[in-house]
């Protein structure tokens, strides 16, 4: 039985690794999901097989309830709600780690070895930080807590004191087996999760979601050590390491360090949209008919999607419009910035849902050199990822951040509701260039008008 269970756990772990590999590309994402589901079925079945007198009714009821809630949420969640849903899921992984650690500590008749104590301490505090940090991230992403960074004097010192206190109570538990010391360590870790996230502004939220993904993986690995479950250790380590790598990639795309993201706000002092100290700026506006005429007579069009596209649910209408342009001989492609939207891969998921051909969707490094040879760029719902200030204004909070170089195209069309600043709170010089035409209105309504204009 022991050899069979080890073999089955190994098979599940391999499937989880293949799942992560598959999820790295939209083309193989479905297959990756299937690998993950199969691996989880094998892992759960093997765990049941190894249980000693399990309370099957409670376990099956919990699995059924969780599965039903998950299926319902997956069916009903809007694309705009996906980032906060991901953050909420991370919080549940952290909470699981905390509850399992507490159950292990209070389990009577079990004496933990020094190594197990360290594992419990690490898994529990990572889980606690993940839980409260994810709850705050959920609140920021959903708008319930506000997206702005919350900064106050002595913030970093407070975090340092909390971290040292957490380690101190963890050491006290290690030496004395004190339940009170362990609970104090958990309580401090829960507070630290909040104080680490509140100074992070909305523009850094995609990186935060990615980091929380990494934290939840390490928390799961900690649970694996506590439960002596090798497949949970492997799966948690894979998620933790892949989340950390993704966070590094995203920070590089923003010209930011992970440390700076976790320790400070972003764009809090940015200028308001549409004006500066020198007074109001001039911009050109046009109608959907004007925009449709320009794009239907172009040889090449690049579409830059942003969070506003998700908010208006315009992705299906946009794909219809792009298809009409393609049928008229226009070369249409989509340019994706690594931090567009509110979570990693947000725009890729959005376009995949609208069945945009994968070959038309290009990442920033693949398409940036083509903007200067492009007739028209359609920026729809994006702002900060096309802001030229990142390259030109050394005083800008986003200076040095790689951007989609839409400003190099011959003509730029921007679809926005108003001249308000983007999520980072920064004004955008692109909107005031002579080559730029603003089209104001709800993105879905504007795109539907574009479809009508091109169809006639």
Catalytic machinery residues: 384
The span from the CA of 298 to the CA of 315, in Å, is 21
Half-sphere exposure of 164 (CA within 13 A, CB side): 6
Angle in degrees, 0-180, between the axes of helices 82-105 and 346-353, rounded to the nearest 10: 120
Six-digit token pair at 284? 């050109």
Phi-psi region of 454 (alpha: psi -120 to 50; beta: other; left: phi over 0): alpha
Six-digit token pair at 423? 């999520």
**Among candidate residues 283, 374, 292, 372, the one with its CA nearest the CA of residue 333:** 374
The span from the CA of 288 to the CA of 413, in Å, is 10
What is the helix (H) or strand (E) element at residue 376, kind and residue range?
Answer: strand 376-380
The span from the CA of 351 to the CA of 356, in Å, is 6
* Residues found in the chain: 456
**Among candidate residues 303, 330, 337, the one with its CA nearest the CA of residue 415:** 303
What is the helix (H) or strand (E) element at residue 305, kind and residue range?
Answer: strand 300-305
The span from the CA of 130 to the CA of 118, in Å, is 18
Torsion of CA 283, 289, 295, 296, to 10 degrees: -160
């Amino acid at each position: 039985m022991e050899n069979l269970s080890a073999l089955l756990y190994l098979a599940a772990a391999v499937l989880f690794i293949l799942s992560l590999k598959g999820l790295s590309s939209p083309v193989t994402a479905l297959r990756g999901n299937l690998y993950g589901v199969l691996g989880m079925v094998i892992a759960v079945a093997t765990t049941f097989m190894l249980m000693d007198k399990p309370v099957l009714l409670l376990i099956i009821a919990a699995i059924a309830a969780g599965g039903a809630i998950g299926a319902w949420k997956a069916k009903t969640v809007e694309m705009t709600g996906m980032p906060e849903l991901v953050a909420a899921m991370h919080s549940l992984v952290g909470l699981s780690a905390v509850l399992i650690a507490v159950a292990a500590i209070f389990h009577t008749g079990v004496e933990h070895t020094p190594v197990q104590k360290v594992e419990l301490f690490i898994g529990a505090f990572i889980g606690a930080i993940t839980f409260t940090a994810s709850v705050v991230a959920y609140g920021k992403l959903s708008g319930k807590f506000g997206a702005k960074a919350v900064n106050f004097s002595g913030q970093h010192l407070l975090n340092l004191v909390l971290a040292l206190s957490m380690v101190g109570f963890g050491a006290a538990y290690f030496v004395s087996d004190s339940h009170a010391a362990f609970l104090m360590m958990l309580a401090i870790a829960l507070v630290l999760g909040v104080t680490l996230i509140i100074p992070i502004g909305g523009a850094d939220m995609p990186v935060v979601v990615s980091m929380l993904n990494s934290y939840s993986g390490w928390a799961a690995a900690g649970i694996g050590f506590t439960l002596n479950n090798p497949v949970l250790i492997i799966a948690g380590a894979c998620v933790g390491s892949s989340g950390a790598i993704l966070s590094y990639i995203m920070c590089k795309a923003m010209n930011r360090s992970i440390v700076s993201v976790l320790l400070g706000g972003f764009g809090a002092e940015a200028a308001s949209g549409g004006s500066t100290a020198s007074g109001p700026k001039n911009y050109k506006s046009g109608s959907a008919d004007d925009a449709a005429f320009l794009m239907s007579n172009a040889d090449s069009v690049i579409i830059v999607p942003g969070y506003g596209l998700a908010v208006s649910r315009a992705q299906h209408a946009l794909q219809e419009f792009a298809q009409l342009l393609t049928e008229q001989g226009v070369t249409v492609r989509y340019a994706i910035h690594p931090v567009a939207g509110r979570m990693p891969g947000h725009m890729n998921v959005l376009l995949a849902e609208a069945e945009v051909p994968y070959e038309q969707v290009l990442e920033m490094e693949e398409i940036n050199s083509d903007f200067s040879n492009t007739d028209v760029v359609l920026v729809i719902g994006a702002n900060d990822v096309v802001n030229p200030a990142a390259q030109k204004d050394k005083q800008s909070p986003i200076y040095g951040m790689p951007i989609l170089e839409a400003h190099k195209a011959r003509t730029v069309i921007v679809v926005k509701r108003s001249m308000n600043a983007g999520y980072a709170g920064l004004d955008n010089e692109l909107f005031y260039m002579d080559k730029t035409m603003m089209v104001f209105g709800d993105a879905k309504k504007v795109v539907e008008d574009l479809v009508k204009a091109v169809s006639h």
